[in-house]
Structure 1
Amino acid sequence: MNILEKTSQEHILVVDDCIDNLYLMQFILENEGYQVMVAVNGEEALDKIHRCQPDLVLLDMMMPRMNGYEVVNRLREDSNFSLIPVFLVTADTYVSQSAAIAAGADGLLYKPINIEQLLFEVAKILANKQASFYSQD
């Protein structure tokens, strides 16, 4: 089996205050067989994470009230959720991968979303999460 091949139905939370971006990523991911939940702000994202504990969070950086950095920071401070992979998503090309990782994220995706890159990064991070889960057994 290819390491990037899905072995179960993973749950992904997509967070973006722009409804068009939110539904685009939801559509792409659901067509690949992922279960997708959506949230339009940081507070709603944290609520859904606490209730559903997704396998991955795709998180817009710039949102009103609570931005992506704040959400990542809260997740990393909570031992129940600190290991959930988070990819920040931004249209700001001045933000670097290293800055996103320094902020606590597992990676960074740029808007407009490149579908192939999105699917590759999602499959890779979920495969790595699954591999580390099985190596703990």
Structure 2
Amino acid sequence: MSLITSKSTKRVLVVDDIADNLFLAQFILENQGYEVNTANSGRVAITQVETEKIKPDLIILDLMMPEMDGYEVIEYLRNHQKPPYIPVLLMTADTSVSCEDALHAGASGIIYKPWDLEQFLKKVEMFNV
């Protein structure tokens, strides 16, 4: 049973440089009724946000990626993104990164890897998506 059956389909963009993480997040979210797009780098994510006519309702963004890390992506989005504001959940395996660090960087929250499925879905649902 989908957790969002009474809502219209919501769009989530998942950004991670590890293909297995993208696949797993997409599988989990699509099974809950979300429409999921993926990006394997920060630059690809920015391009998708800038060029898609229908913007994602939420971005789940890995912190540690080559070329452009999650902090740089958030900074770019916050400085160049036109309304509507898109919440970003920062995703990391680095437990030394606090929720306060994520919020200070412009994220709306943080998800730690490896994911606890229940916590992962609760974090996503917090944004009414």
The residue number in structure 1 matching 2:116 is: 114
The residue number in structure 1 matching 2:25 is: 25
Q: State the TM-score, normalizing by the size of structure 2.
A: 0.90
The residue number in structure 2 matching 1:45 is: 45
Cα displacement string for residues 55-108 of structure 1 (whole angstroms, at most 9, x for unaligned residues):
000000000100000000011112415710000000001000000000000000
Report the RMSD for the aligned CA atoms in angstroms.
Answer: 1.5
Provide the C-alpha distance between the structure 2 equivalents of 1:67 and 1:81, rounded to a whole number of angstroms. 23
- Structure 2 portions without partners, runs of 5+: none
In structure 2, give the amino acid aligned to 1:77: N
Report which of the two has the higher share of helix.
Answer: 1
Provide the C-alpha distance between the structure 2 equivalents of 1:125 and 1:6, rounded to a whole number of angstroms. 15
Question: How big is the shift at 1:21?
Answer: 0.8
Tell me the secondary structure at the aligned position of residue 125 of structure 1: coil
Provide the C-alpha distance between the structure 2 equivalents of 1:112 and 1:31, rounded to a whole number of angstroms. 19
The residue number in structure 1 matching 2:106 is: 104
CA 1:57–1:26 in structure 2 vs 1: closer, same or farther (change >3 Å)? Answer: same
Q: Does 1:73 align with 2:75?
A: yes
Q: State the TM-score, normalizing by the size of structure 1.
A: 0.85
Tell me the secondary structure at the aligned position of residue 58 of structure 1: strand
Question: How big is the shift at 1:5?
Answer: 6.9
Question: How many percent identity over aligned positions?
Answer: 48
Cα displacement string for residues 31-63 of structure 1 (whole angstroms, at most 9, x for unaligned residues):
000000000000000011112321000000000
The residue number in structure 2 matching 1:126 is: 128
Contact 1:6 1:123 in 2 (8 A): no
Provide the C-alpha distance between the structure 2 equivalents of 1:30 and 1:17, rounded to a whole number of angstroms. 19
- Structure 1 portions without partners, runs of 5+: 128-137
Aligned residue pairs, count:
124
In structure 2, give the amino acid aligned to 1:87: L
